[in-house]
Structure 1
Amino acid sequence: MDLQEEIIMDILSRLPVRSLLRFKCVSKFWMSLISQSYFTTKHFNHAKNNQSFQKMLLLNKEFSFHCSSLSSVQLFEDVQRLDRPCSGKLWGWKIHCCYDGLALIGVRNYPDKDFILLLWNPSTRESVVLPNPKFSQEVSCTWGLGYDLTSDDYKILKIDGKERNEILALKSGSWRKIDDHPTGDNSVLSDMDYLAFRHGALDCVDTSSNMGYLAFVRGAFHWIDSLLNHSMVTFSISDEVYGEILLPVGLDLVFDIMHSKQGVSVLEGVLCVYSTRIDHGKYTFKLWVMNDYGVKESWNQLFTIQSTDLYSITPKYMFSDGDVLLRCSQLKRSGSVFKTSNESSGVWPQSDLECIQDGFVYTESLTSPKLLTWY
């Protein structure tokens, strides 16, 4: 049966990345078709609107990556181990953030502890080593990855607490220091990045419970500055202009690195802010969503969770039924667990022997990190 190219492309664009990588071997025509940038865009536009293409990228205490499908019935199923984006004896890994099917990974070598920054596609297993920022990585930093529609380029923003904020446009291949927010100090809470583990000597430690990431939405990065009690900071990646968005009344901003957390997230394309606060041995988590971007009055408190054990909660994903996937840190358990906001879908991992450092939801994509950079 001789099908038209448009029909074949439409059929293939609905298939998982894993199948498409195999189907490149069917014929030279299919190889060329699947490799086209137009097809990559068409496939991703379909994938981001289909929950079956949403995956969870997990990092465990052994610095092994795993991916899992998401389902509102069974949170994690068919967990598959992924090859690490680079080899060698490594001292520490961290997933900084995920965007458009790409993951920004930080790596430190042992014993030199040299810093390596990777842009990785967990679906295709392709990765590229990015240039290191100009300033030292000894200070705990927070990162963001976003796409600049104006320049048709992906950009990475790094902020720290010593007025050394930098931005990297992938097409330029070099980091550039940017002006700091007018408050004068973009203070970032330390989360003891890249703890040294001796095999069997230390328990699994939650290395990111006290620092979030730069949430990217509406062409801008968003984060909470410890010097701003009533506003979050915004940074447009097109014109590099700072701004502020007023926070909701009732947000608990207490910068205690041991037992509290606040941050910004994006759920279903909507800006969110959350906080966890301790009071007389009880932890209270609150989550707000901004229904009308930039309008303070549109903040809506989605739900509150009270617990004596969950000292840090981060929203990761919102299902079609409104249920929210949460990454939780427990006082009585090493590492992180994942559960839904209504707690009806169970907890993963269920075994105390499994220790997950962190996890991010990403959309399957054919985008090649190597094609996004000039070097």
Structure 2
Amino acid sequence: MANLPEEITMDILLRLPVKSLVRFRCVCKHWNRLFNSPALVKAPRTWKLESRLLLKYCSEDVTRLGIRSQRNTEEFSFDISPPSVIGKKFELVDSSNGIICLYTFHRDDSGASRIFLWNPTINDLFTLPQPPSPVPEYLVGFGFNPLSAHLDDFKVICINLRLEYKDRERKRHSQVEVYSLRTNSWKQLGDRYPSYLNGHLGNQVIFNEFICWYPYVQVNKQSVLTVFDVAKEEFHEMRLPNSMPSDGKQIGLLDGCVSLWAHNPSEGYEVWTMKVFGNLESWTKLYTIKIFARSIARYQPLGLASVKEALLLNTIPRGLRHRSPSYISLYDMERGRFSESFRFTVDSIYGNRLVTHAESLISPSYSAQAERR
């Protein structure tokens, strides 16, 4: 390929799997420079990147990651490990454009808490500069701004809450801080956190330029989604249909749409999806998983592992004197039964995450250090 024009070489390379491109860095110095160039890293791919599932859980007091292709029925591979600098325990926020956002939280030493952007495909880890305020425990968000036309326009949101007592009244103040990878800097937005929200937003999903949470609170007795617009850097909420059960909701993505698993005590879990983002009338109930109804075991959905499979966290109560074990299991919705080969113990029912992830060549370290125009 040495004699081919560079534009033809680029066209060929863009059709290859990302893992192959990573290996090709060793061919020669010219190719190594080419694979670090924005022309290749940020070029639109000529094929649809394979979507994979990334599972985060804690076992034996160590945070672990598993990965699974959504194209076939292979089990999760648990040979993916973040760099040792992150430590044994961390939180997984979300993944976008091949970049995973992780953070560590140290209750006794807030200055030791760190936020990381990691691309496991090229094993590139970038540690964010410390935010002006301490890294919060449950109020870290991660998003992407596709409107800027830059594939590395990632942002991290930190929300710090402070209570103030004055004249026997308790007032809450917030400081919303946004980090931009393209400027490698933090910006304080002030007291922007919605007053109806508490100190735990729960899991998030990324849809276009929006970060979406279901925060387990109601506004005027109405269930809502809380949304942060990464481009405009502002919060707003979206109403949910009254016909949707109000209990036990879990947010996720399904076929590229924001979805919710809503607990119906008499039926099980209903799976809803918002066909048109922001349109209340577009919410549609797809199906109900009745395995949860009238069961001794307690089930919590983590998300869909495939079109026909759901990943569930289940706990069987053993009374007040004994600790109830928790398991992550694979449930075949078509056959109505659990997989016999996929079940493992986790330390807690909290902190387990299932997110979608795609390979990419984007280097957060290079993006943060590149000279900005």
Q: TM-score when scaled to structure 1?
A: 0.75
CA distance in 1, matches of 2:257, 2:303: 12
Task: Let me know the Cα RMSD of the aligned residues.
Answer: 3.4
The equivalent of 1:288 in structure 2 is: 272
1:303-327 C-alpha deviation (Å, 9 max, x unpaired): 221312352113256x5xxx16533
How many residue pairs match? The answer is: 335
1:226-279 C-alpha deviation (Å, 9 max, x unpaired): 13223322222222343332212332324xxxxxx32433333322233235x4
Asked whether the 8 Å contact 2:57–2:64 carries over to 1, the reply is yes
Question: Percent of pairs identical after alignment?
Answer: 19
- 1:176 maps to a residue whose letter is Q
Cα offset for 1:94?
1.6
1:96-137 C-alpha deviation (Å, 9 max, x unpaired): 111111111112469857311111111111111113344444
- 1:227 maps to a residue whose letter is Q
* CA separation of 1:12 and 1:220: change in aligned 2, threshold 3 A: same
Residues 20-169 of structure 1 correspond to what in structure 2 (within 5 A)?
20-42=21-43, 45-46=45-46, 49-51=48-50, 54-61=52-59, 63=62, 65-71=64-70, 73-76=72-75, 79=77, 81-87=79-85, 90=87, 92-108=89-105, 114-137=112-135, 139-147=137-145, 149-150=147-148, 152=150, 153-159=153-159, 163-169=174-180
Asked whether the 8 Å contact 1:310–1:328 carries over to 2, the reply is no
* CA separation of 1:8 and 1:349: change in aligned 2, threshold 3 A: farther
Asked whether the 8 Å contact 1:99–1:145 carries over to 2, the reply is yes
CA distance in 1, matches of 2:33, 2:159: 40
The equivalent of 2:358 in structure 1 is: 363
Q: Secondary structure at the match of 1:365?
A: coil
Asked whether the 8 Å contact 1:265–1:273 carries over to 2, the reply is yes
Cα offset for 1:58?
4.1
1:147-191 C-alpha deviation (Å, 9 max, x unpaired): 25238421112346653433222224124244435x51322448x
CA distance in 1, matches of 2:197, 2:21: 43
- 1:174 maps to a residue whose letter is W
* CA separation of 1:374 and 1:7: change in aligned 2, threshold 3 A: closer
Q: Secondary structure at the match of 2:7?
A: helix
Does residue 180 of the first structure (1) align with residue 170 of the second (2)? no
- Out of 244, 251, 255, the residue aligned to residue 264 of structure 1 is 251
CA distance in 2, matches of 1:4, 1:165: 49
1:264-305 C-alpha deviation (Å, 9 max, x unpaired): 33333322233235x4xx782222111122221111111221
- 2:253 maps to a residue whose letter is V
Does residue 222 of the first structure (1) align with residue 219 of the second (2)? no
- 1:106 maps to a residue whose letter is Y
- 2:257 maps to a residue whose letter is V
Once the two structures are overlaid, the 10-residue window that deviates more, 118-127 or 330-339, is 330-339
Asked whether the 8 Å contact 2:145–2:208 carries over to 1, the reply is no
Cα offset for 1:359?
3.4
CA distance in 2, matches of 1:285, 1:362: 25
The equivalent of 1:350 in structure 2 is: 342
CA distance in 1, matches of 2:17, 2:207: 26
Q: Secondary structure at the match of 1:39?
A: helix
CA distance in 2, matches of 1:91, 1:73: 30
Cα offset for 1:13?
2.4
Structure number with greater Rg is: 2
Q: TM-score when scaled to structure 2?
A: 0.75
Q: Secondary structure at the match of 2:95?
A: strand
- Out of 291, 295, 298, the residue aligned to residue 282 of structure 2 is 298
The equivalent of 2:302 in structure 1 is: 314
- 1:312 maps to a residue whose letter is Q
Asked whether the 8 Å contact 1:64–1:82 carries over to 2, the reply is no
Asked whether the 8 Å contact 1:313–1:329 carries over to 2, the reply is yes
Cα offset for 1:355?
7.2
CA distance in 1, matches of 2:347, 2:334: 23
Q: Secondary structure at the match of 2:84?
A: coil
